[in-house]
Structure 1
Amino acid sequence: MIERVVPEPQRRRRRPTKQGTMLSERIIVETALRLIGRHGAEALTVRRLGAALGADPSALYRYYRNTDDLLLAIADELIGRAQHGWQPTGDWRADLCEAGLRIHASYQAHPQAALLAAHRTTGRDNEMRAVETILGVLRSAGFGDRDAVRIYHAFVDQALAFAALDAAALALPTAAQAADLEVWQARYGRLDTSTHPNIAATARLLAADMRHSGYPFALDLLLDAVEVRLAGAGAEAG
């Protein structure tokens, strides 16, 4: 795509596509997610999207300036899906745990898109709502603004980093995923205690644990540290 966006009042397509669909930002984003899921990053082109939508590719300029603009919309959609149906309960730890797991799950549901989008800052409605909500959870818990921002930063970066890491593994061909997991048994599981005593002692546990994401436990560790910091702040204030 090139920079050639149509003014907002003129965006809506007046005729349905060849498939009988009225174009909208949501339809375009959902179609792009499906294409990326099937074909990877190379699917994010005007030609492929136009063909999938049954529309002239130039019609997409009514909605997005270029493919990067569309990618930001995709990233914001994943953030929005993570928040769908979720409301803070007032229990800051439970709320952050739920938010983190939802972010991670949303990206894992679309691993190919996650590889393209997890590191982007969208500046769009869903992202701004997420930032506002998480900061609100932290400030309501009793953190000062500086600590709230720093904890927010660490919390979100941890969730997105694990999302991207786990998405990269999920995006591998099935055979490659299986081969990577087999290494823990075929290689690490056979190391001798005389040369690798620590690995040998924990090989069975390693093989089992590496089949799952490390994010839930890492999230617990982070929240443990946040809880200690909150208790320390309360003691200083008292």
Structure 2
Amino acid sequence: MAKKVVPEAARRRRRPTRSGTVLSEQIIVRAALRVLREHGSAGLTVRRLGTALGADPSTLYRYFAGMDELTRAIGDELMGRALDSWAATGDWRVDLRALGLAVHASYLAHPQAAVLTASRVTGRPREIAVDETILGILRRAGLSDAAAVHAYHAFIDQSLAFAALDAGSLALTDEARTEDEAMWQSTYARLPAASHPNIAATAPLLARRMPHSAYPAVLEMLLEHVAAQLAGAAG
């Protein structure tokens, strides 16, 4: 006989935790973000999360099927925060730039969570809202559906790839990050022109530029590409 499915609302705990908090998905996700910030992705466990919530660890399973579902919910929260900080202007280029920077900033605000979730497709409401918004901007700008999907793919993957890359750097210890950044001065700037003429010629520029994210510059390249597509279609 098939096991009776308990409705989601009935599974959820209504009694306060030991700290007096009535749990919800959002409260659990916010607690998970705190645990990630303090202990890293390896430290995000059901037991540690239960301690942070002041609840029995098994309570998590009233809200999420497991840690993988919680991971997707964390990614969805970061996407939602990006959308919450963004406002449309009606100018496709301004709007895409601002939304890309908002996504990047939202993930970098929680680097450990970004490393854990940037490669995931959550399929949850807030991520879907971001995707709908991006596609809407591109289609209203005048791109065909095929071109809009192509640009959307490049835009969202680029945003998340740089979020993961830059968050990975922020997730390092201060000592390791400082050592990496100093490498442009301690190693690259000292390479001889005879064997490495191109690096030697650009070493001061590399030392100033490389410790910073390339995302804003690469985002502008993508926007230029979309603008060229629109100009070509108009022509």
CA deviation profile, 1:75-111 (whole Å, cap 9, x unmatched): 0000001111423211001110001000100110111
Name the residue aligned to 2:82: 82
Equivalent residue, structure 2, for 1:15: 15
Q: CA deviation at 1:62?
A: 1.0
Identity of aligned residues (%): 60
Partner in structure 2 of residue 71 of structure 1: 71
Deviation at 1:6, TM superposition (A): 5.7
1:109 corresponds to which letter in structure 2?
Answer: A
1:46 aligns with 2:33: no
**How many aligned residue pairs are there?**
231
Moved over 4 A (4+): none
| Cα distance, 1:11 vs structure 2 | 3.3
Report whether the alignment pairs 1:224 with 2:219.
no
**Counterpart Cα distance in 2 of 1:233 and 1:138:** 13
CA distance in 2, matches of 1:224, 1:21: 49
- Whichever residue aligns with residue 97 of structure 1, its letter is R
Q: CA separation in 2, counterparts of 1:85 and 1:61?
A: 31
Give 3-state SS (helix, strand or coil) of 1:90's partner: coil
Q: Which runs of 5+ in 2 are unaligned?
A: none
Alignment deviations for residues 146-176 of structure 1 (CA, whole Å, 9 cap, x no partner):
0001100000000000000111111111111
> Is the Cα–Cα contact under 8 Å of residues 7 and 62 in structure 1 kept in the other structure?
no
CA distance in 2 between counterparts of 1:130 and 1:232 reads 27
Unmatched segments (≥5 aa) in structure 1:
none
| Distance in 2 separating the partners of 1:220 and 1:58 | 47
Report the counterpart of residue 198 of structure 1 in structure 2.
Answer: 198
Query: Do the aligned partners of residues 199 and 21 (structure 1) sit closer, same or farther apart at CA in structure 2, a change above 3 Å counting?
Result: same
Pairs within 5 Å for 1:114-193: 114-193=114-193
Aligned amino acid, residue 26 of structure 1: Q
1:58 shift after superposition:
1.3
1:98-127 CA distance string (max 9 Å, x none): 010001001101111111100111111101
Q: CA RMSD in A?
A: 1.2
Partners of 2:44 and 2:145 in 1: CA distance: 39
Q: Does 1:233 align with 2:220?
A: no
User: What's the secondary structure of 2:23's corresponding residue?
Assistant: coil
SS of equivalent to 1:205: helix
Q: Which amino acid aligns with 1:117?
A: T
Distance 1:130 1:97 in 2: 14
One-letter amino acid of the structure 2 residue matched with residue 232 of structure 1: G
Larger mean CA deviation between 57-66 and 12-21 belongs to 12-21
Q: Is the 8 A contact 1:36 1:112 kept in 2?
A: yes
Name the SS of the counterpart of 2:95 in structure 1.
helix
Structure 2 length-normalised TM: 0.95
- Deviations, residues 185-215 of structure 1 (Å, cap 9, x unaligned): 0111111122211111111110010121000
Assess if the C-alpha contact under 8 Å between 2:19 and 2:54 holds in 1. yes
Q: How far, CA to CA, are the matches of 1:7 and 1:210 in structure 2?
A: 52
Encode CA deviations 1:31-73: one digit per residue, 9 max, x unaligned: 0001011111122221111111110111111100000010000
1:21 and 1:7 map into 2 onto residues whose CA distance is 22
- My pick for the range that moved more, 168-177 or 9-18, is 9-18
Q: Could you tell me how far apart the structure 2 residues matched to 1:44 and 1:168 are?
A: 17
Structure-1 residue corresponding to 2:34: 34
Give the AA of the match of 1:198: N
Q: 1:79 to 1:6 in 2, by over 3 A?
A: farther
